[in-house]
Structure 1
Amino acid sequence: MVFDGVTQFRKDLADYAVEYRRQLKVRPNESHRVRAKFKNTKCKWQLTAKLDRDTCDFMVITYHPIHKCIPLNKNKMCNSKLLAMKFKDIIVSQPYIRIWEIQELVRDKLGLYVGKTICYKAKQRIIIENMGDWNMKFSRLCDYADLIKQTNPGSSCSVKIDEATEPGKNLFVYFYVCFQAFTQGWLDGCKKIIRFDGCFLKGVCKGELLVAVGKNENNQMYPIARAVVDPETRHSWNWFIKYLIVDLNLVNGERLTVMTDMQKCFTNQY
């Protein structure tokens, strides 16, 4: 039996241990040789593989397939890396999945119990690999705002950061963007109607999306501006609308129709 390399051998060995719920002891575990035995000393199952110096293939040299140990519901080889490989598609499609739900998923699919820490690390590994390090992306929001202004002259983009809550850290609060093309399009070819609405963000990064949309001459919805805020509050809506008033040159709002489903306590101040 020949493998592509020691990495492939270790992966297949871990898959075997998890599938059959056997607790293996791997020693030595080196780049040129690996020996696997069951932790139960009475069990004679053994698998040894090493690197062939002549062919550079990683091949099995000894294999005793008979064993006497019983399956277990815990396995050290079922680590965060293995869970990330097996449940990648599920977690990518459901980035908001709870840790206890991942534990239940592992129990149903593999028949194993894994701790919350392993499930959390597996989820974080998948998120970073497939969605990027969102902590780093948040830290570059100001650079993104500057890039928008450089590449879209006349566009408005603002980031509000909280520097007082945690000294030494810049915490995200609000992000607002209104592209020049959308602004000019609304001023030149849209009815003087603005609709405000908001929705929850259900991905990895929580928060709320605030939007302002208009209606063009064909009675179709026309995007104007949007903002991402941490909480939807009176202050966040006030911050959003103040920027929009400047960008659309609304001044006192004459001959403008505003539609919203917000309560009176939120709209009276505008």
Structure 2
Amino acid sequence: MVRTRSGVEVRTIQEPNDEEEIVIEDDDAGIEDEVDENATTGEETTDNLYNVILYYGGHFVHVPFQSYTSNVRKLYKRIDLEKLSIDDLKKLFSGPVGEYDSLYFRTPELKIYLLNAESKPIIIELGKECGNNIVLYVYHVIVPTDESDIEREYSDEDSESDRGFYPNSEESDEDFCYANPPPGYDKMKYVDEVFNMHTPAKDIKFKVGQIFGCKKDFKEAVRSSSMETGRPYQYAHDDLKRVQVVCAHGCPFKMWLGYDKDKDRWQIKSIINDHNCVWNHKNKLVTTKYLVEVFGDRIRKNPNWKLCDMQEEFKRVLKVDVCDAKCSRVRKAALSGVVEKMAEHYAKLRKFGGEILRSNRQNTVKISTTRLQEGDVSRFRRIYICYAALKKAWKDECRPVLGLDGCFLKTVTGGQLLSAVGRDGNNCIMPIAMAVVESENYDSWKWFLELLIADLDLEDGHRKTLISDQQKGLDKAIKELLPQVEHRFCTRHLGANLKGKYPSGAVTDAFWRASTATHPQAFKSAMKELASVSKGAFEKMNQLDPAVWSKAYFKTHSKTDSTENNISECFNSWILKARYMPLIDMLIEIHDMINKSA
């Protein structure tokens, strides 16, 4: 068997048998009993005369491969194809063929065309490329006589060529066009059972006759089986009536699914259930859409999920490798439409605030909005919440200490949560107030402190203590609004910043001795030790007032000598899960957590 440049396969004459007839005739046109490797007659023709090889007595089949089922053919020499009409050609070829309707030809892309006035220039051009040699087919359609024939024979209604199956023309002859199924092709036992979509992936087994409610169910089963077994399945053909599944290049596995119009169902028609491929982690069936369906919610909750972590999770859960580009597309697709959903979500915020005030008029809820331009719809900017019970508890029962801190929200919209956390008589945390703002800066901290001062009656901060990190703008806002308050810096953050610049263990030890010193003389001794170890570290810490970071200079009215802002850090860690939720859901979750801990 050889393949011409026109994309057709020309077989040498085989020995006659009971099923085939080799027609050898001698007429004016001439008949040859062999065709050489270039599909020619052994002699050159003029530019306008063509040698035509006519196959007849069969029909096209498309499983297991696209082929013409008959080897019976006749060779016509020196045919003036350009001058003869289609009707003239039919009359010329009607001698051995008898009555028939149409002639067909195939292109190098394995596409089948009806020979008519419009397609005639195509076949002439192909003939010139092949040395003025042309192959035509008489198409006799075979229709099954009963349902049992569906598995044994394939009509044009039941199966169609998978025209995109072979991507190039360099395949070996053995991979092409069998008139009969290839050696080793055994029909599986026919079943008539409905596939259970709840079947675990490891137990999925495809069978001839298996029924699927829709094509989507079949594709889901193929994808699950592909990921579980590591078979790189892909769809060689997929249209409204049929689907063809193949495996890796060179793997003999083939599976055909067809649509049964009478019974409105999809059914597996045939399977070559042999594999010679190895496990492959690159799976084309794991599409961007599928990954969004599986991991979309997780990505929306954590839009900053790193691509490398995403790839590792995909491989752990799905047993597939996903490239960086596809991971980026998955994240982009998962986050698309979030803005519209968030707009609907934030539109309910005023109703949420109204419910808080309705439940207790002493609660405080403040919502700040902004507009990009005059006349634009207002947009959410900030919200502040302080519950009446927490206000009263802090005033009556807690130490006059507040920890101030901010933490990032883990949602698509971003933002930060500012909080004021108190310390009760047992040194346990008590959340007092919280606010969601666009970012940590002087303006947002000032807005938060103004509302907090009004709720807790802090006035100028006399005999009150605030503990915080060195947040942007917070120190300036405190000095303006609470000039008499005792303001302490968290020494854990101070020590971490100092260690980052001066990593010596001696510097760290001297710093902590100075921070925990209980009287001024001990503090001065520790600072001298720090100066002897690192002059730069000493100058950096000497720029700060000792009253903000050393116990030796703390005031006693707060009844606590804590040098760290652990109460705020504990609160931020406590609400970590809630910080991944949309705004209203987060506020409700924190409200419920506070109620349960009370």
Global fold match (TM > 0.5): yes
Q: Percent sequence identity over matched residues?
A: 25
Bigger shift: 138-147 or 255-264? 255-264
Instruction: Note if 1:120 corresponds to 2:331.
Output: yes
The one-letter code matched in structure 1 to 2:442 is R
TM-score, reference length from structure 2: 0.37
Q: 1:195 and 1:150 mapped to 2: Cα distance?
A: 29
Q: 1:103 and 1:250 mapped to 2: Cα distance?
A: 51
From 129, 150, 153, the counterpart of 2:361 = 153
Structure with greater contact order relative to length (CA < 8 Å, sep ≥ 6):
1
Segments of 5+ residues of structure 2 without an aligned counterpart are 1-192, 198-212, 482-598
User: Aligned residue for 2:256?
Assistant: 47
Bigger shift: 98-107 or 211-220? 98-107
Structure with higher strand content: 1
Q: How do 1:76-155 and structure 2 match up within 5 A? A: 77-85=285-293, 87=295, 91=299, 96-99=304-307, 101-102=309-310, 106=314, 109-113=319-323, 115-116=326-327, 118-121=329-332, 123-124=334-335, 133-155=341-363
Q: How do 1:146-185 and structure 2 match up within 5 A? A: 146-164=354-372, 168-185=376-393
Deviation string for 1:96-141 (max 9, x for gaps)?
Answer: 313465356557841344535531255438x97xxxx444323322
From 225, 230, 233, the counterpart of 1:22 = 233
Bigger shift: 173-182 or 187-196? 187-196
The one-letter code matched in structure 2 to 1:172 is F
* Structure 1 residue 157, shift from structure 2 partner: 1.1
Q: 1:116 and 1:166 mapped to 2: Cα distance?
A: 40
Q: Structure 1 residues 90, 68: closer, same or farther in 2, change over 3 A? A: same
Bigger shift: 15-24 or 176-185? 15-24
User: Aligned residue for 1:2?
Assistant: 194
SS at match of 1:254: coil
Instruction: Note if 1:11 corresponds to 2:11.
Output: no
SS at match of 1:191: coil
* Structure 1 residue 64, shift from structure 2 partner: 2.8
* Structure 1 residue 224, shift from structure 2 partner: 0.5
Q: 2:328 and 2:296 mapped to 1: Cα distance?
A: 17
Instruction: Note if 1:223 corresponds to 2:434.
Output: no
The one-letter code matched in structure 1 to 2:433 is A
The one-letter code matched in structure 2 to 1:213 is V
TM-score, reference length from structure 1: 0.75
Q: Is the 8 Å Cα contact of residues 233 and 245 (structure 2) preserved in structure 1?
A: no
Q: Structure 1 residues 88, 123: closer, same or farther in 2, change over 3 A? A: closer
The one-letter code matched in structure 2 to 1:23 is Q
Q: 1:251 and 1:265 mapped to 2: Cα distance?
A: 17
Deviation string for 1:193-243 (max 9, x for gaps)?
Answer: 222122223344422221111122333221100111111001110000111
User: Aligned residue for 1:64?
Assistant: 272
The one-letter code matched in structure 1 to 2:320 is L
Q: 1:21 and 1:44 mapped to 2: Cα distance?
A: 11
Q: Is the 8 Å Cα contact of residues 79 and 118 (structure 1) preserved in structure 2?
A: no
User: Aligned residue for 2:448?
Assistant: 240
Q: Structure 1 residues 164, 87: closer, same or farther in 2, change over 3 A? A: closer
Q: Which has the larger radius of gyration?
A: 2
User: Aligned residue for 1:202?
Assistant: 410
Segments of 5+ residues of structure 1 without an aligned counterpart are none
